[in-house]
Amino acid sequence: MAEAEDVVQDVARHATIHIRRLWFEHRGKDEGPRPVSLAEVRQRIDLLVHAVHGFSLPLRVAHIPARPTMLTRLFRRADVRQSGLAIPCTDGRSLWLPMDMPLAPPRAAAGAIIDAAEVKAYRRNAGELFRTIGLQQASRVLRGSADHVAEAAALCPRTLALYTVLEAQAADERLVQELPGMARSVNQLREKMLALRPAINAVPTACRHVEKLVQRILSCEVGTPVSHLPWPPSTNARENVEIASWLLRQHGDGGGKLPHQHAVFTDCWTG
């Protein structure tokens, strides 16, 4: 029989969960459904990662980067301009996920009421994006992607950018091999991120081949070979550093000024 103290603690926990859920649903101005936040899905993502891989990883909030200063924009014009959004990532021991997804909640016209089905579909899609990105980052942990970031960065920013892209593709393939039912979700993530990519002509000349590669991958469904890339993707993250260097040698300097730090537009897929 449960002790009285245990009963009180259990009631308090359920009350706290219920109050938090109500706060999430009604926080802010009453202008429509609230964005789905990481705090709402954190526990489910943690349980899913543990169920799939048998271990848990601390889930942390990826913070929005500081806006570049005027001097940074002036002296680093060869760098690819970033979105200013929080980007998911991992150091091999923890996962950092954005507080919310780049998915706008439905809005009703003045005096109209938002269809409940639209709200339900939005929350389902946002939750699915969180789940897909969380599992993709967990796949990078299993691949040891973070272990070779410093090595790629030491070569040059474009090598690091290509390595990041190759690891994103390889993480997708590993995820779908382990969970074939995730193929649809991965393809939807690719489709959404492709729609938010910058125009190739808007990217500095020396980095355009990286952007073309990203858009070629995102244009393909997971499990599909991508032109001018080895297939299947390497199962060894260290090999992707060598492949990134090979791709860069194939392309050359691109005819423009080389980037100082950012050679690719990062998003929720590239990480």
Q: What tens digit of pLDDT does each residue of 8-67 get?
A: 666 666 566 556 555 555 555 555 667 788 988 999 999 999 999 999 999 999 999 888
Contacts 24+ apart (CB under 8 A), 209-215: 209/251, 209/254, 210/158, 210/161, 210/162, 210/165, 210/263, 210/264, 211/80, 211/264, 211/265, 213/162, 213/165, 213/247, 214/165, 214/264, 214/265, 214/270
The model's pTM is: 0.85
- What are the residue boundaries of the structural domains of the chain, listed by start? 33-104+115-251
Q: What tens digit of pLDDT does each residue of 141-194 get?
A: 999 999 999 999 999 999 999 999 999 999 999 999 999 999 999 999 999 999
- The whole-number pLDDT of residue 232 equals 93
Residue scoring higher pLDDT (72 or 161)? 161
- The whole-number pLDDT of residue 229 equals 94
Which residue in 254, 251, 135 sits closest to 185, CA to CA? 135
What is the band of 256 on the pLDDT scale with cuts at 50, 70, 90? confident
- The whole-number pLDDT of residue 104 equals 73
CB neighbourhood size of 268 (10 A): 26
Q: List C-alpha distances in Å: 205 to 160, 202, 252.
A: 17, 9, 12
- The whole-number pLDDT of residue 116 equals 72
The verdict on whether omega for the bond into residue 232 sits within 30 degrees of 0, i.e. cis, is yes
Q: What tens digit of pLDDT does each residue of 89-128 get?
A: 999 999 999 998 877 777 766 556 677 777 788 888 889 9
Is 261 within 8 Å of 157 (Cβ atoms)? yes
- The whole-number pLDDT of residue 147 equals 96
Q: If you write DSSP's letter for every residue of 204-252 in order, what string do you get?
A: -GGGHHHHHHHHHHHHSPTTS--TTS-SSPPS-HHHHHHHHHHHHHHH-
Is 110 within 8 Å of 25 (Cβ atoms)? no
Which residue in 154, 268, 269, 158 sits closest to 208, CA to CA? 158
